[in-house]
Amino acid sequence: MSAAEVDRSGAAPIILDAQHPWPSLRAFREEHRAVFRGRDGEITDLVRRVKRRLLTILFGVSGLGKTSLLQAGLFPALRATHTSGSNLG
């Protein structure tokens, strides 16, 4: 599975596949959700928390992947639960 895109700044394309599973120092985005792996438990927990309280604060030191977790994990999961009517929380 692969995903390619041009960075918003016009930089070289980002290629995500089995040999290149990380977008360098850039965050995963929603279109990368198919290759964003290993954080299912955190995504489920965040979905549950957001459904319980609309204001949910995610914090941590720089470089932990907070933006990736939100963009490629939480946002697609919330969209999926909203459109399918399922309840992950």
Of residues 8 and 55, more confidence is placed in 55
- Token pair 């990736």 is found at 68
Region 66-84: mean pLDDT is: 91
CA distance 89 to 82: 12
The domains of the chain are located at: 27-84
Q: Do the Cβ atoms of 23 and 34 come closer than 8 Å?
A: no
Average pLDDT over residues 70-82: 92
Q: Does 14 or 55 have the greater pLDDT score?
A: 55
DSSP helix/strand/coil, 46: helix
Is residue 58 a contact partner of residue 66, using CB atoms and an 8 Å limit? yes
Phi, psi at residue 5, to the nearest 5°?
A: -155, 165
Highest mean pLDDT among 35-39, 55-59, 62-66: 55-59
Sign of CA pseudo-dihedral 58, 42, 60, 33: negative
**Residue 7 in this model has a pLDDT that exceeds 60:** no
Q: What is the pLDDT of residues 13-53, one digit of tens each?
A: 677 777 766 677 788 889 888 888 889 999 999 999 999 99
- The highest-confidence range among 11-15, 62-66, 85-89, by mean pLDDT, is 62-66
